[in-house]
Chain A
């Protein structure tokens, strides 16, 4: 167990491990820049993210960040509350470190033959560091810096295939929209600062009443734009299909799972800590939970309807990830109703399960790109004859994303559904059910292509790249074993949610 004298700064150990790994990767590459040892680089990146994962899980179980009344070590505040390590932060560090390790393992095969391997892994780890810092940020300053630390490596990673026009185009679009939204975000921060005089979240909450309403309202709206970009929600969702389609598949998996989760954690923290609903409503005259209800319904509907019309599998998954952002937004929409921590806990569970099933689905697309079978549904026809294991895993991901029992995705959606019924949000609950039913159409279309349809042409035997297979199979196993393990996950998620809404 932990030593009795637990130094506060040690609470950020998962973040330190991630940043140290990124620097080690640079050092390894600078020893002999001409030679690329793929195994060493991928191994270092994977080991570093696994250590970060282990530390975060250990902290969570040992009670670091748990309030002392619950038998923990107490919430750790660093640098006068600029950073905070609580259960919510550790929960998201677990999600982020998991996705990072899956992506690192899968990249071993996917990036074979590409140049700039060391840069690729260290940028991935730096982006993961930014995401983990976002989870612990408790001030608009640290949030903005962590957000940029996540975004800047991500732009470079999306465009890392320098001779591939799709990758460059995706990187450009991602960068342009990202730069615009971070400018809007920082302007929003300046307006909130103007209205309250503080940037630390609790201090903002304490000084809300003295604030000037219109300035604050505009500031909050602009912050919302920044969060919508990071989580790929309506109205700033349209970069997602472009960026995910053109990016290398492991990077698409990384951005759509980990980056989205990190965007949600700052949205959750800012809106629960800095802008408590009653006080904010009294000052700006608008109930922001209504805004989130509208955004949640719009995001899931637009995402799912757009996904249903796609012919390209990766693009379908990109739109489905927009739809899933809508499901997670229910967590914020639910703050207007009574049972806050259950709704938000359900959203956290969904993001946790989503980290496995969505990463796995994108990695399967990466595997298909590795084989070179093509990008559309027809190109995937009959793949199960050649690669039954990977196709079985993909079937698990698809059913789980659609929310079919007994997979993990069913439980998180079920909790979201019952929690929103309990909170009296019937419109949201209805939209959730209708959209899940619609999503089953396009997910099962892929399963039909894999298992039932005949291949268009003759296909040679497909290779079995170890790294990609290992990552996909592990993600599939996790999606299934989340079922018996869901009790603890649900408890941790609800505790983590209660830590900030209380």
Chain B
């Protein structure tokens, strides 16, 4: 194989950092959700690359679980964003601030 493991790790770290940057700067709850998905997929890239590197299937199987859980998380998250919109007429995460931080 020509592509070394370090390239995969660099790719996944870049994805993770892009996701983290999105989480820290975006104010729209939906974009926040997408950024979190990016971070989860960064972990998946890692898991699959390392699975190939170590020669066992644990990582690949776990990546499948992670995808399913990410989907479940989005389902719950969208539900919460929906009630957020109904109550506050906005999906900006900085709008709900009735409680002191």
Q: Which residues of A contact B (CB under 8 A)?
A: 141, 144-145, 148, 152, 155-156, 159, 162-163, 165-166, 168-173, 175-176, 179-180, 182-184, 186-187, 189-191, 193-194, 197-199, 215, 238, 241-242, 245-246
- Distance between A126 CB and nearest chain B CB, rounded to angstroms: 12
Verify B80–A172 contact, CB threshold 8 A.
yes
Q: Is B58's CB under 8 angstroms from A193's CB?
A: yes
In the bound complex, residues from chain B placing their C-beta under 8 Å from that of A159 are 80, 83
Q: How many residues of B contact A (CB 8 A)?
A: 48
Once the chains bind, are B87 and A165 in contact (CB under 8 Å)? yes
Within 8 A of A (CB), among B64-101: 65-66, 69, 72-73, 76-77, 79-81, 83-84, 86-88, 93, 96-99, 101
CB distance from B81 to the nearest CB of A (A): 8
Contacts of B12 in A (CB 8 A): 187, 190
CB within 8 A of A190: which of B23, B36, B43, B72? B43
- Whether the Cβ atoms of B46 and A169 lie closer than 8 Å is no
Question: Least Cβ distance of A163 to chain B in Å?
Answer: 7
20 cross-chain CB contacts under 8 A: A144-B66, A145-B65, A155-B80, A165-B88, A166-B98, A169-B96, A169-B97, A171-B80, A175-B77, A176-B93, A180-B23, A183-B39, A183-B40, A184-B39, A186-B66, A187-B12, A187-B16, A190-B12, A193-B50, A193-B54
Check A199 against B80 for contact (C-beta < 8 Å). Answer: no
A187 contact set on B, CB distance < 8 A = 12, 16, 39, 42-43, 46
Q: Are A198 and B58 in touch, CB under 8 angstroms? A: yes
Contact yes or no, A238 B101, CB < 8 A = yes
User: Nearest chain-A residue to B16 (Cβ)?
Assistant: A187
* Set A162, A170, A183, A191: member contacting B99, Cβ < 8 A: A170
Contacts of A241 in B (CB 8 A): 99
B101:A186 contact, CB within 8 angstroms: no
B residues lining the A interface (CB < 8 Å):
5, 9, 12, 16, 19, 23, 29, 32-33, 36, 39-40, 42-44, 46-47, 49-51, 53-54, 56, 58-59, 61-62, 65-66, 69, 72-73, 76-77, 79-81, 83-84, 86-88, 93, 96-99, 101
On chain B, the residues within 8 Å of A184 by CB distance are 39
Say yes or no: A191-B46 contact (C-beta < 8 A), given A145-B69, A155-B76, A179-B73: yes
Judge whether A169 and B76 touch: CB under 8 Å. Answer: no
Q: Closest Cβ of chain B: how far from A415's Cβ, in Å?
A: 35
Name B's interface SS.
Answer: helix
Query: By the criterion CB–CB under 8 Å, are B36 and A148 in contact?
Result: no
Contact of A193 with B65 in the complex, beta carbons under 8 Å: no
How far does the alpha carbon of A34 sit from the alpha carbon of B23 in the complex, in Å?
40
Residues of chain B lying within 8 A (CB to CB) of residue A169: 96-99
Q: Are A166 and B69 in contact (CB under 8 A)?
A: no
The 5 A-B pairs with the shortest beta carbon distances in the complex, nearest first, are A190-B46, A183-B39, A169-B96, A197-B54, A194-B50
Q: How far is the CA of A71 from the CA of B16 in the complex (A)?
A: 49
Task: Tell me which residues across on chain A come within 8 A of B77, comparing CB atoms.
Answer: 155, 175, 179
Name the residue of chain A whose CB is nearest to the CB of B44.
A190
B87 touching A163, Cβ below 8 Å = yes
- The residue among A176, A191, A194, A241 with the most chain B CB atoms within 10 A of its own CB is A194
Chain B residues with Cβ below 8 Å from A189 are 43, 62
**What 13 additional pairs, Cβ within 8 angstroms, besides A144-B62, A172-B80?**
A162-B83, A171-B83, A175-B76, A179-B73, A183-B39, A186-B66, A190-B44, A190-B47, A190-B50, A191-B46, A194-B49, A199-B62, A245-B99
B101 and A242: CB pair below 8 A?
yes
- B-chain residues with CB within 8 Å of residue A144 when the two chains form the complex: 62, 65-66, 69
- The residues of B that contact A170 with a CB separation of less than 8 Å are 99
Docked-complex contact B53 and A194, CB < 8 angstroms: yes
Residue from B9, B43, B88 within 8 A of A183 (CB atoms): B43
B48 nearest CB neighbor, chain A only: A190
Residues of A within 8 A of B36 (CB): 179-180, 183
B76 to A: closest C-beta gap in Å: 5
Which residue of the partner chain, among B33, B39, B42, B72, contacts A152 with CB atoms under 8 Å? B72
Separation of A186 and B69 alpha carbons in the complex (Å): 11
| B33 in complex: contacting residue of A166, A179, A182, A198, CB < 8 Å | A179
Interchain CA distance A19-B65 in the complex, whole Å: 20
Return the chain B residue nearest A161 by Cβ.
B83
Question: Which residues on the B side are within 8 Å of A245 (C-beta)?
Answer: 99
A168 and B58 contact, CB distance less than 8 A: no
Contact: B80 with A175, CB < 8 Å? Answer: yes
Name the distance in Å between B90's Cβ and chain A's nearest Cβ.
Answer: 11
Shortest Cβ distance from residue B96 to the other chain A in the assembled complex, whole angstroms: 4
B58 and A199 form a contact (CB under 8 A): yes
CB of B43, distance to nearest CB on chain A (Å)? 4
**Chain A residue at smallest Cβ distance from B79:** A156
| A198 CA to B61 CA, complexed, in Å | 12
CA distance A156 to B72 in the complex (A): 12
Instruction: Say whether, besides A163-B87, A197-B50, A238-B101, A172 and B29 are in contact (CB < 8 Å).
Output: yes
